[in-house]
């Protein structure tokens, strides 16, 4: 599969259970350090509930060890990299810390939302990036069509007005307030069903995570915060 075109790469990602999340070509300025000679990057991740069932059925999800989603993502994407003759890159485990949010905006019509997460025109706030494949050949990547942010036409700003502890505001994200709420009995709703501010956004509401995926995401947030202390 070495030297495969973009469609073959996207198909290979889909066959793992992950979701292709767009691609872009690197400029000469981008091609530095580890990315020297890299011409194209293809992103992989999850979109809504797509991708979750593959992870939930994986050995990593059941083995009880730390960081199951990261380990599953690494196993699949490194396997793809070997098969396709690419370099695997991840938004976790750095340094180096790769600019996945910038890459995402070059690959798909996503935009920053008022609560910091990238908003997708179809999936809203319910999506994630699990890794990338970097290729030395310039894949046939279509030009990204410009699209406005769904947030531009939203006057209500439900995402900023729904958090029980006001963790989101125009001034930023109060991580401590959010974590403190989740760790107490009042945070049970967010822990079980997902962030209430995220759920308040009407864009892509039909793609909101199911209970297992939502609960896992919230627990992972607390685990990461604890590990960083």
pLDDT at 63 over 90: yes
Do residues 41 and 23 lie in contact, with contact meaning Cβ atoms separated by under 8 Å?
yes
**Mean predicted confidence (pLDDT) in 156-162:** 95
- 3-class SS of residue 69: helix
Burial 22-51 (b: 16+ CB within 10 A, else e): bbbbbeeebeeeebeebbbbbbbbbbbbbb
Per-residue pLDDT tens for 13-53? Answer: 999 999 999 999 999 999 999 999 999 999 999 999 999 99
Percent of the chain at pLDDT > 70 equals 98
pLDDT at 11 over 70: yes
Q: What confidence tier does 2 reach under pLDDT thresholds 50, 70, 90?
A: very low
Between 30 and 228, residue with greater pLDDT: 30
CA angle 226–105–95, rounded 5-degree value:
40
pLDDT at 6 over 80: yes
Compute φ and ψ for 107, nearest 5 degrees. Answer: -110, -30
**Mean predicted confidence (pLDDT) in 100-113:** 98
**Mean predicted confidence (pLDDT) in 117-128:** 98
pLDDT at 94 over 90: no
pTM: 0.94
**Mean predicted confidence (pLDDT) in 118-140:** 97
Q: What is the DSSP letter of 105?
A: H
Amino acid 119: pLDDT: 98
Q: What confidence tier does 187 reach under pLDDT thresholds 50, 70, 90?
A: very high
Q: What confidence tier does 1 reach under pLDDT thresholds 50, 70, 90?
A: very low
Do residues 93 and 101 lie in contact, with contact meaning Cβ atoms separated by under 8 Å?
no
Q: What confidence tier does 4 reach under pLDDT thresholds 50, 70, 90?
A: low
């Amino acid at each position: 599969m070495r030297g495969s075109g973009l469609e073959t790469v996207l198909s290979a990602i889909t066959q793992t259970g992950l979701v292709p999340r767009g691609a872009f070509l690197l400029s000469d300025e981008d091609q530095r350090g580890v990315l020297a000679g890299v011409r194209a990057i293809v992103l992989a991740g999850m979109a809504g509930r797509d991708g979750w069932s593959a992870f939930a059925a994986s050995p990593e999800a059941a083995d009880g060890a730390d960081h199951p989603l990261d380990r599953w993502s690494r196993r699949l994407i490194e396997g793809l990299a070997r098969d396709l003759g690419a370099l695997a890159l991840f938004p976790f485990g750095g340094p180096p810390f790769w600019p996945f949010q910038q890459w995402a905006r070059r690959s798909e019509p996503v935009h920053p939302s008022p609560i910091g997460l990238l908003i997708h025109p179809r999936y809203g706030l319910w999506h994630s990036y699990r890794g990338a494949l970097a290729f030395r050949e310039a894949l046939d990547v279509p030009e990204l069509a410009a699209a406005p942010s769904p947030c531009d036409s939203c006057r209500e700003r439900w995402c900023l007005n729904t958090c029980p502890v006001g963790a989101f505001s125009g001034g930023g994200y109060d991580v401590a307030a959010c974590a403190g709420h989740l760790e107490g009995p009042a945070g049970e709703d967010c822990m079980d069903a997902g962030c209430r501010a995220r759920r308040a956004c009407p864009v892509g509401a039909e793609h909101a995570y199911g209970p297992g995926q939502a609960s896992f995401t919230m627990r992972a947030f607390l685990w990461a915060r604890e590990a960083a202390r």
